[in-house]
Amino acid sequence: MSTSPSPRPMKPRIALMTYAIDGRPAKGSALYARKVVEGLLKHTEYDFFLVHYEPSNDPLYRMGAREILMPIIPRLPVGTRFIRQMLFFWKYRKEPFDIIHWFQPRLYPFFWLAPAGRIVVTMHGAGDITAPAPFNIPKSVFIWVLKHFNTHIDAVIAASHEASREIAKHYGILVEKIYVTYNGVDEDFKPVLKAEAFERVSKKYGIRKSYVLDVSRLQAHKNIGTLIKAYEIARSGDSRMQEQLVIVGSPAGDHRKIYAAARNSACKDDIHFISYVDQCDLNDMYAAASLFVFPSLDEGFGLPIIEAFASGTPVIASNIPALSEIAAGAALLVNPRSPDDIAEAMTRALHDDDLRNSLVQKGTPRARLFNWSNTVQETLAIYSHIGGIKTS
């Protein structure tokens, strides 16, 4: 007597909201989302769906996952994306996903109607509340939604333990729903001879001589104005210091004030802004720097300090809790609100060879602890924990 074969079990269906990546350079949260999605798509034991708004030539959508474009409607004065997302929810209500994962804390009202058994949101930290920024109506709505309707979220991913504490404190999300997965650093970041790295980036980006580097969007909480003041103090107090100050970052909310501070500086001829560095040049940009300074007032993780560690460059960073956690003694920590403290640290790190060597020797192995493969595996473990999905 023959028996029919058992039906093949369906793969878990996971919807990844990849519109967080579309049209954005691979920096910050967009880099995190890209690296995690690319890593997840290597796990063929799952059915992944990439959900976004507009057609894209991004190679990400040719990696074998199923692409879903949210239903198109005539453009409205406000709320176009909200309506399209609601239509997407309605369309897939009869074939729901096991998990839907948002890669940034930008949830519209009624996100809980998503056609999924479990909802995952990467929030990184509580920066939308804690970082100084001008009032913004859309952001205020997103904050309100997360504060009042987070009971519908099954897992929140934070970028550090300090970020986890901030999320719980400012959004009221239960601690047991928050999972920490550190960001990674690309294997392409490695120590490079400074002279060779400088030769490759100097002409392309208009750098004239040795330099102190910061990599930050020109937002208020990145504290670039204080860095400029610290640079002026260091230059005026130490005749040996002739390095340029190079700031790599796209214009954002505070950029006009920052540009004005640079124009009015006594060191204006040596303050150089670069709005964007090609990803293939970023390792050289870090490696060629004499020093990397990251005086941010608010971070969930602080990926640039890890990239600088990996590139073999000594690092000065804010003594805020998240950066203290990530640096773990491998950076020289300063009070980010004190230009004098930053200036003194810059002078020490530039001219004390023992200190420089110590920072590099601690930073390089520290960077090796952060890799995207771990981030992906920990993300899959979260899916498994909240939804009964087995991981390989």
CATH number for the region 13-184+372-387 comes to 3.40.50.2000
Check for a shared fold between 13-184+372-387 and 194-367: yes
Amino acid at 112: W
Query: What's the confidence (pLDDT) of residue 387?
Result: 83
Q: Write the pLDDT tens digit of every residue in 47-66.
A: 999 999 999 999 999 998 99
Map tokens 């309707």 to a residue: 149
Phi first, then psi, for residue 69 (nearest 5°) are -95, 130
One-letter-per-residue 3-state SS of the chain: CCCCCCCCCCCCEEEEEHHHCCCCCCCHHHHHHHHHHHHHCCCCCCEEEEEECCCCCCHHHHCCCEEEECCCCCCCCCCHHHHHHHHHHHHCCCCCEEEEEECCCCCCCCHHHCCEEEEEEEEECCHHHHCCCCCCHHHHHHHHHHHHHHHHCCEEEECCHHHHHHHHHHHCCCHHHEEECCCCCCCCCCCCCHHHHHHHHHHHHCCCCCEEEEECCECHHHCHHHHHHHHHHHHHHCCCCCCEEEEECCECCCHHHHHHHHHCCCCHHHEEEECCCCHHHHHHHHHHCCEEEECCCCCCCCHHHHHHHHCCCCEEEECCHHHHHHHCCCCEEECCCCHHHHHHHHHHHHHCHHHHHHHHHHHHHHHCCCCHHHHHHHHHHHHHHHHCCCCC
Q: Residue 136 pLDDT more than 90?
A: no
Q: Quick one: average pLDDT of 67-71?
A: 97
The pLDDT of residue 238: 75
Cβ burial of 223 (10 Å; 0-12, 13-18, 19+) is: buried
Q: Supply the pLDDT for residue 269.
A: 95
pTM over 0.85: yes
Tell me: the pLDDT tens digits for 142-178?
999 999 999 999 999 999 999 999 999 999 999 999 9
Residue 30 CA to residue 16 CA, distance in Å, equals: 13
Binned at pLDDT 50, 70 and 90, residue 2 comes out as very low
306 φψ region: left (φ > 0), alpha (ψ -120 to 50), beta (else): alpha
194-367 maps to which CATH number? 3.40.50.2000
Q: What is the mean pLDDT of residues 179-199?
A: 95
Side-chain half-sphere CA neighbours of 8 within 13 A: 4
d(Cα 37, Cα 55) in Å, to the nearest integer? Answer: 17
Give the domain ranges of the chain: 13-184+372-387, 194-367
